[in-house]
Amino acid sequence: AQEGGTGSREFWRDEYILNAAIANYRKPYVAIMDGIVMGGGVGVSAHGSVRVVTERSMIGMPETGIGFVPDVGGTYLLARTPGELGTHIALTTARLSAGDAIACGFADHYIPSAKIDSFIEALT
């Protein structure tokens, strides 16, 4: 960026195009957020039409901790949380557990991690 390169601009453009495609995909887009889901992982998960979390889920946008605006449509997601939860998450870099993610609208369903394989099998 300091040398006038455009790589970062192209990267962000491609990332937003991908996230918009996920959000608008006509078929069910199932995202299983099992484990740490941060930054770009939120983008490819939380914009899906079926978003699943487990007891191991930890979801967040750590870029807010260094003063960056959440990317991957994070501000869109945060603005749609109940009350001022999105503001709290953005200002404190809070990490969301499975229940938090569902309550804030980042996820829809909970499945115990031990049942992920059978869930995927049922989908196929």
**Helix (H, G, I), strand (E, B), or coil: what is residue 32?**
strand
CB atoms under 10 Å from CB of 76, counted, come to 14
| pLDDT of 105 above 70 | yes
Per-residue pLDDT at 66: 82
pTM for this model (two decimals): 0.88
Which class does domain 28-123 fall in? alpha beta
Report the candidate in 16, 15, 18, 42 with the shortest Cα–Cα distance to residue 31. Answer: 42
pLDDT at 6: 80
Q: Report pLDDT for 76.
A: 87
* 67 vs 124, more confident: 124
Tell me: pLDDT of 11 over 70.
Answer: yes
